[in-house]
Structure 1
């Protein structure tokens, strides 16, 4: 299914839609989740907690979205967090330089390249403004931080462009109060804000977006001293080598030096296991090692976890070895101590990061799960049952003869344990189709036989198979079928 099909589903079935859409001055890059989207997002986050946070005994925090200027001076964002832009000298329209070059010439230039490189390509390829065919001025840098004023004096502060900075500045307190021991994973889910030049394609590039970030603090001298590596050493990961995606085990990737050490390989391994359980087609995924000019300014080694969609390869997770960039920067700026004891050794920890885009991940899950069943004339969203915003629909065959009352009775028994949709109206086939589109894996139909023997029909979304079961067995069956893995 294509991007337009996902967009149509999202709008019609309440997954997501533009913010402030009733107003003509609504800004691009802001989207809101409807009921179905909230259900999917919350379950995706719970799966993330189960498969990554709890598995690795990480701790989770919830930091402030507005942070002081000093934080971003120390982190380098005020100096380096910028995109290259060009402005038309004729109509004054502004574009991202790397994107306008790709659109016009198919030439890919990393956004971190020097400004003169963009100017050179624009001149040599005669790139013009797509609106008025005017010439572009020189490429400049545009800082994407959202500045805010605090209090009546308007003291300078910023909306966070990533959720991880509060983890870094809070690290000394967290390590002490939680009796930390290296390696220590600290995680955070929340909103980040980036003043994107040209937000586009709904959830794929936003100005206000959800991140799930994990920062693992470690002793750089012990990156191959990891007992738990045995848990994933045979886990297969798709990794791009010389422009070719190869499937290899984590152990093979470390032995061949494609991944630098067991520490990094371990987290790439548990990440791929998580996304497979989330419903991503792993055959359409890859870990791509970034070249020097592609890496973020704070990264020593970087892998992007990318997934193929109908819009192209989409980065879902940035996997960055940040070394001691962050802790040393905050230590210098704040004059506080960030070293900790690792056994009998004083260490300034290094950091490995898994920075996940939740919105992009949800879009990809929707696209990979959406299919057209032409044989049965229906659209099906084949989400994993534990991620479906609706676990089960409860339907009365007709509203008369006491069936509506019996349906309500069954609904009341299960609604607090499962996400249930009650539906009395319309043809039963049409009601099944609506549930198929929103991803509900099961439907319960109450008919006249129910009144006689207290049984109902349980319909399966993907196969359309229908089985007769006792009402008394519903809870046990649904519990097994919708449980997290």
Structure 2
């Protein structure tokens, strides 16, 4: 399915929609999750916790969204967190330089490139304003931080542009109080804020967005001392360096030098295993190794986990080996000690980061799961059952003859254990179609035979297969099907 069809589904079935849409002055880049979207997002995050956090014995924190100016001076965001922009001298419209050049001249220039490269490309290709055909001024940098004033004195502070900085500044306390031991993973889920120049395409580029970030603190001298590597050495990952993506096991990626060490290979492996369980087609994924001009300013080695969609490759996760950039910077700014003991060795840990965009991940899951069943004239959201916003629809064939009361009784008995939807209204076929579109893997229909023998019809979403089952067996059927793998 394409972007437009996913957008239609999102709006009509309560997955997500624009913020403040009833007002004409609503700002772009802000979207809200409806009931279906919240349910999908929460289950996605529970799978993330199960497959990454609990699997690896990590810690999870919940940090503040507003942080002091000193944090972002130390992190480098106030000096480096900027996008290249160009402004029309005629109509004063502002554009991202790299995207405008790519869209008009089909030339890819990394956003971190020197400003003169953008100016030269605009001049050589005679690129003009797409709105009025005016000329552009020289390329400048635009810092994307959201500044806020604290208290009546309006002390300078900022909304966080990423969730990881609180992990870094909290590291000494967490390592001490939680009896930490390297390697130590610390995770956080929450909102980040970036003043994007041109937010677009709903969840794909937002000014307020969800991240699930993991920072793994490690001893830089022990990056190949990873016993857990055996768990994923046969896991297949797709890596792109220069040419097309190549499928290889994590062990092959390590031995060929495609990834630098067992430590990085291990986390690329478990990340691939996680996304396979979300229902994303991992045969359409790649870990793209970034060049020097593409990497973030803090990264020594960087891989972007990208997935192919109908609107191109989307970056879902940034995997960055940040070395000791963050801890050494905060130690210098704060004058606090960030070194820890690893056995008998005193070290300043290095950091490997797995920074996941939740919103983009959810969009990709929806696109890869939405199918047009032309034979049966229906749209089907074939989500993994454990991610479905609704696990089961409970339907009465008609509302009379005691069927409504029996249906209500069944719903009451299972609604505390599963996400169930009660529906008495409309033709049964249309009710099935609505459940198919929201991704419910099962529909249970109560009919006149139910009153005679305590059986119901259970319908499977993908195959449309229907069978009679005893009411007493509903719980075990749902338990076996919608639990996490």
TM-score by length of 1: 1.00
Deviations 1:175-224 (A, max 9, x none): 00000000000000000000000000000000000000000000000000
Q: How far does residue 242 in structure 1 lie from its aligned partner after superposition?
A: 2.4
Q: State the alpha-carbon separation in 2 of the partners of residues 178 and 279 from structure 1.
A: 35
Q: State the alpha-carbon separation in 1 of the partners of residues 441 and 139 from structure 2.
A: 51
Q: Does 1:333 align with 2:326?
A: no
Deviations 1:364-393 (A, max 9, x none): 000000010000000000000000000000
Q: Does 1:480 align with 2:480?
A: yes
Q: State the alpha-carbon separation in 1 of the partners of residues 239 and 402 from structure 2.
A: 59
Q: State the alpha-carbon separation in 1 of the partners of residues 218 and 66 from structure 2.
A: 27
Q: State the alpha-carbon separation in 1 of the partners of residues 409 and 18 from structure 2.
A: 37
Q: How far does residue 289 in structure 1 lie from its aligned partner after superposition?
A: 0.1
Q: Does 1:222 align with 2:236?
A: no
Q: State the alpha-carbon separation in 2 of the partners of residues 229 and 303 from structure 1.
A: 18
Other-structure match for 2:161: 161
Q: What are the equivalent positions in structure 2 for 1:335-484 lying under 5 Å apart?
A: 335-484=335-484
Other-structure match for 1:231: 231
Other-structure match for 2:54: 54
Deviations 1:289-341 (A, max 9, x none): 00000000000000000000011000000000000000000000000000000
Q: What are the equivalent positions in structure 2 for 1:178-327 lying under 5 Å apart?
A: 178-327=178-327
User: SS of the residue aligned with 2:245?
Assistant: strand
Q: State the alpha-carbon separation in 2 of the partners of residues 420 and 263 from structure 1.
A: 42
Q: State the alpha-carbon separation in 2 of the partners of residues 357 and 282 from structure 1.
A: 17
Deviations 1:234-264 (A, max 9, x none): 0000111421111100000000000000000
Unaligned runs of at least 5 residues, structure 1: none
Q: State the alpha-carbon separation in 2 of the partners of residues 106 and 369 from structure 1.
A: 31
Q: State the alpha-carbon separation in 1 of the partners of residues 3 and 73 from structure 2.
A: 39
Q: State the alpha-carbon separation in 1 of the partners of residues 378 and 18 from structure 2.
A: 26
Other-structure match for 2:43: 43
Q: How far does residue 90 in structure 1 lie from its aligned partner after superposition?
A: 0.2
Q: State the alpha-carbon separation in 2 of the partners of residues 86 and 386 from structure 1.
A: 46
Q: State the alpha-carbon separation in 2 of the partners of residues 184 and 324 from structure 1.
A: 14
Deviations 1:49-69 (A, max 9, x none): 000000000000000000000
Q: State the alpha-carbon separation in 2 of the partners of residues 262 and 10 from structure 1.
A: 40
Q: What are the equivalent positions in structure 2 for 1:34-113 lying under 5 Å apart?
A: 34-113=34-113
Deviations 1:398-449 (A, max 9, x none): 1110000000000000000000000000000000000000000000000000
Unaligned runs of at least 5 residues, structure 2: none
Q: State the alpha-carbon separation in 1 of the partners of residues 239 and 75 from structure 2.
A: 30
User: SS of the residue aligned with 1:227?
Assistant: coil
Q: State the alpha-carbon separation in 2 of the partners of residues 166 and 77 from structure 1.
A: 14
Other-structure match for 1:150: 150
Q: State the alpha-carbon separation in 2 of the partners of residues 113 and 344 from structure 1.
A: 43
How many corresponding residue pairs?
Answer: 485
User: SS of the residue aligned with 1:29?
Assistant: coil
Runs of 4+, deviation exceeding 3 Å: none
Q: State the alpha-carbon separation in 1 of the partners of residues 406 and 183 from structure 2.
A: 55
Q: State the alpha-carbon separation in 2 of the partners of residues 13 and 5 from structure 1.
A: 12
Q: State the alpha-carbon separation in 2 of the partners of residues 234 and 302 from structure 1.
A: 22
